[in-house]
Amino acid sequence: MLDNNIKNQLKSHFESLTQPVELLIALDDSKKSAEVESLANDLASLSDKFTVVSNPDSSARRPSMVVHSPEKNTHITFAGVPMGHEFTSLVLALLHTGGHASKAKSEDIEQIESLNQELNFEVYISLSCQTCPQVVQALNTMAATNSKIKATMIDGALFQDEVEERNILAVPAVYLNGEPFSQGALSLTDILNKVDTKGAAKQAAALSEKDEFDVLVVGGGPAGASAAIYSARKGLNTGIVADRFGGQVADTLAIENFISIKATEGPKLVAQLEEHVKEYDVDVMHNQRAAGLGRGSNGYEITLENGATLKAKSLVLATGARWREMNVPGEQEYRGHGVAYCPHCDGPLFKGKPVAVIGGGNSGIEAAIDLANIVEHVTVLEFADTLRADEVLIRKANSLSNITIIKNAQTTEVVGDGKKVTGLNYTDRVTGEEKSLALAGIFVQIGLIPNTEWLKESDLTLSKFGEIEIDAKGATSLPGVYGAGDATNTPFKQIIIAMGSGATASLGAFDYLIRHSEQSNQDQNAA
């Protein structure tokens, strides 16, 4: 199951284990069960701390493997074969169950240990989903720390009956004690705040007590990371507020236009960005969303959604953008129930079924190509009379027999049966004819909308599209406030451009602080 190179790497990692771990396997006669058994035996051969045992629970999902601590009585379950993006989740579960310390923040660990209620989490994932491991690993950390908490990863592609029964059409989908808990990206802090409201209040109070920053960066995508690094390199007291470090890049699969790197993947690039930021003295505040911008006594104040207030002499606003919605009847009703925005995450849930991709730009055609390897058929609907994607992508799409591209198509309605998507209606913009497609899923890829709603009540000037208006130095309409990345009116939305704009904005803020400081000194001397 595991090649020798991986075995050698794991063996060195497992040398740090101090506690026994039981691998409780539940099997049937399927091919996937054979893979689970082979995986368990391979792992057991790498450490004397591991023991493979048949799961005595007759109601256990099959195939599945429980990572169990006989000393702490903790349970972390993998229903399916935890390979692909979830292999790291398995390795971490083994390490944490075997006594290796978690890298979670000490305050989060203390909060987990203080939880006194029975919490049984189930998270439905796809092995190709890049967002899912974050959620799985957060839940697993909780389960490895507190025996009252159980976590189960379920491969939705393998347990289709459950997916159908619970009408799960988007991952990660989390259930708590049998009831829906969350859908989409979720951090450990987010989960703890949902199950322990007192913890959120304590966190807000701690944030509000922080000293004033020289530069506060709002947003943890490529623009925000770049701005924080450039600011810290100037010796400025720098903070960065990030809802999710990496932003949209974390959901990007293949990146082949980042100059100097032939090819990489979004999560890998995000990890490198975060590591680079950690090289400097930057106060990174994870899992926080900005809610308002106001004036402070010596600069500005950023109010967070949890009620905390952060003070700064200057700001770099790099809140990025999110997928634009179609705004047609049925879209919101069936969001997460057939209407999706991440083909890599949710594609496997539509295996063998017909789907549509809305949008003929690079993201739309790339999505169609990826989905074509999974689904029965992909229909691409493009509003314009020409495709905006790169020619190399168009040629690839046209070469695949299960991709159909329809131009001049205006989507007018998402159709469903009350539970899930069954099709869509569109208008042929040339003939005016109304047409319908029978579909199981719709992947929307029609561009981005800036995350700037929280700024609409401020004095900051926004464009008619809601973008932060900036000049060549990244300066906004407010002195000392700079913008960068996809949230601004920059004409092109690309990772490499966002990074450059983050550096520009940070250097602009540095220049402002120098001039502002000099002016303050002159005013004091004059007095």
pLDDT, tens digit only, all 527 positions of the chain: 798 999 999 999 999 999 999 999 999 999 999 999 999 999 999 999 999 999 999 999 999 999 999 999 999 999 999 998 899 999 999 999 999 999 898 888 999 999 999 999 999 999 988 889 999 999 999 999 999 999 999 999 999 999 989 989 889 999 999 999 998 888 898 899 889 867 777 888 889 999 999 999 999 999 999 999 999 999 999 999 998 899 888 877 678 889 999 989 888 899 899 999 999 999 999 889 999 999 988 899 999 998 999 999 999 999 999 989 999 999 999 998 999 998 888 898 899 999 999 999 999 999 999 999 999 999 999 999 999 999 999 999 999 999 999 999 999 999 999 999 999 999 999 999 999 999 999 999 998 899 999 999 999 999 999 999 999 999 999 999 999 999 999 988 899 999 999 999 999 999 999 998 766 666 555 55
User: How much is the pLDDT for 527?
Assistant: 53
User: How much is the pLDDT for 141?
Assistant: 98
CATH for 305: 3.50.50.60
From CA 248, how far away is CA 232, in angstroms rounded?
A: 24
User: How much is the pLDDT for 36?
Assistant: 97
Structural domain ending residue among the three candidates 147, 170, 195: 195
Is 396 domain-assigned?
yes
From CA 351, how far away is CA 63, in angstroms rounded?
A: 20
Write out the DSSP string of 49-63: TEEEEE---TTS-SS
From CA 220, how far away is CA 232, in angstroms rounded?
A: 15
Is 332 domain-assigned?
no
Radius of gyration of the chain (CA): 25
> Which amino acid belongs to residue 303?
T
Is 413 domain-assigned?
yes
| Residue 338: CB atoms within 10 Å | 31
Do residues 30 and 123 both lie within one domain? yes
From CA 100, how far away is CA 88, in angstroms rounded?
A: 15
User: How much is the pLDDT for 214?
Assistant: 97
Do residues 22 and 115 both lie within one domain? yes
> Which amino acid belongs to residue 465?
F
Q: 């940070």: which residue's tokens?
A: 506
Domains held by the chain: number: 3
Do residues 165 and 270 both lie within one domain? no
From CA 284, how far away is CA 230, in angstroms rounded?
A: 14
User: How much is the pLDDT for 185?
Assistant: 83
Structural domain ending residue among the three candidates 195, 223, 245: 195
Q: Please check whether residue 264 is in contact with residue 496, taking contact to mean a CB–CB distance below 8 angstroms.
A: no
Do residues 20 and 126 both lie within one domain? yes
Write out the DSSP string of 355-373: EEEE--SHHHHHHHHHHHT
User: How much is the pLDDT for 331?
Assistant: 96
Structural domain ending residue among the three candidates 144, 168, 195: 195
Is 331 domain-assigned?
no
Do residues 139 and 287 both lie within one domain? no
User: How much is the pLDDT for 523?
Assistant: 57
Do residues 118 and 225 both lie within one domain? no
Query: The sheet that has 409-416: what strands, in order across it?
Result: 409-416, 421-428, 434-438
Is 368 domain-assigned?
yes
Do residues 217 and 317 both lie within one domain? yes
Is 454 domain-assigned?
yes
Q: What pTM, to 2 d.p., does this model score? A: 0.74
Do residues 411 and 491 both lie within one domain? no
Is 174 domain-assigned?
yes
Do residues 122 and 66 both lie within one domain? yes
Positive or negative torsion for Cα 349, 350, 351, 356:
negative
Instruction: Print the domain residue range for 34.
Output: 4-195
195: enclosing H helix or E strand: helix 188-195
Residue 433 exposed, middle or buried by CB count within 10 Å (0-12, 13-18, 19+): exposed
Q: 């401020």: which residue's tokens?
A: 458
For the chain, the straight-line distance linking the first and the last C-alpha, in angstroms and rounded, comes to: 77
User: How much is the pLDDT for 448?
Assistant: 87
Do residues 158 and 224 both lie within one domain? no
> Quick check: helix, strand or coil at residue 146?
coil
From CA 339, how far away is CA 16, in angstroms rounded?
A: 45
Name 114's Cβ contacts closer than 8 Å, sequence gap at least 6: 196
User: How much is the pLDDT for 518?
Assistant: 65
User: How much is the pLDDT for 266?
Assistant: 86
Do residues 219 and 280 both lie within one domain? yes
CATH for 22: 3.40.30.80
Is 102 domain-assigned?
yes
Do residues 175 and 313 both lie within one domain? no
